[in-house]
Chains A and B, each alone.
Chain A
Amino acid sequence: AQSVAQPEDQVNVAEGNPLTVKCTYSVSGNPYLFWYVQYPNRGLQFLLKYITGDNLVKGSYGFEAEFNKSQTSFHLKKPSALVSDSALYFCAVRGLNAGNMLTFGGGTRLMVKP
């Protein structure tokens, strides 16, 4: 079985400061890893993914994520947070034999204060 943990329900950061939203996973085989963002009353929007290759993946809106196989982590980062980054962020994983299904974490609310 595959699973994803987002250990923080909420992350607070000041505008202009770097942000990190944490994600750890458990899968069989090599993972496919994803980050999504959800703004209020909207569906989830794809931000970035890791399949293979460089451990640092760059995505939309200046976000990036670092894949760490030994720590089974895929933390989302941004060098300088914006108030408009405030949203709900979901990490997702697909492992071996999962077909086309993704397993999502519980979500982390990011609050960026001016």
Chain B
Amino acid sequence: DAEITQSPRHKITETGRQVTLACHQTWNHNNMFWYRQDLGHGLRLIHYSYGVQDTNKGEVSDGYSVSRSNTEDLPLTLESAASSQTSVYFCASSERTSGSYEQYFGPGTRLTVT
């Protein structure tokens, strides 16, 4: 069955370190998204991609970057981790041409920045 996987599931890092969170989907979807989930804020969009070599900033993109070198993967990089980036991160994907727009989510990565 098709799925989205995220790794690691849990990560503890120190302030100032670079961190990369992996997202891999086997749906063959063109659209991929990164969100963060925080109490009181729901889900907020960080970056998204509509295809290979395409990346776009979302609502809360400062301090984050993504790259899309193939259809399956959209890694999220925290350039210099800050305590404010302690959160749960979700990756999602959706079809480009179906016209239905529902997104399918990975299991999440819990990141703690100390």
CB of B75 within 8 Å of the partner chain: no
Tally B residues with Cβ within 8 Å of A: 26
Instruction: Pick the residue among A32, A36, A44, A107 that contacts B101 (CB under 8 A).
Output: A32
Binary flags per residue of A91-106, CB closer than 8 Å to B gives 1, else 0: 0001000011110111
Contact of A101 among B41, B42, B48, B104 (CB under 8 A): B48
* Nearest neighbor of B6 in chain A, beta-carbon distance: A43
Residue of B nearest to A42 (CB): B107
Contact of A106 among B31, B42, B103, B108 (CB under 8 A): B42
Residues of A within 8 A of B (CB): 32, 34, 36, 41-46, 49, 51, 90, 94, 99-102, 104-107
- Give 10 new A-B contacts, CB below 8 A, not counting A34-B101, A90-B42: A32-B100, A41-B108, A44-B103, A45-B105, A46-B104, A49-B100, A49-B102, A90-B43, A102-B103, A107-B43
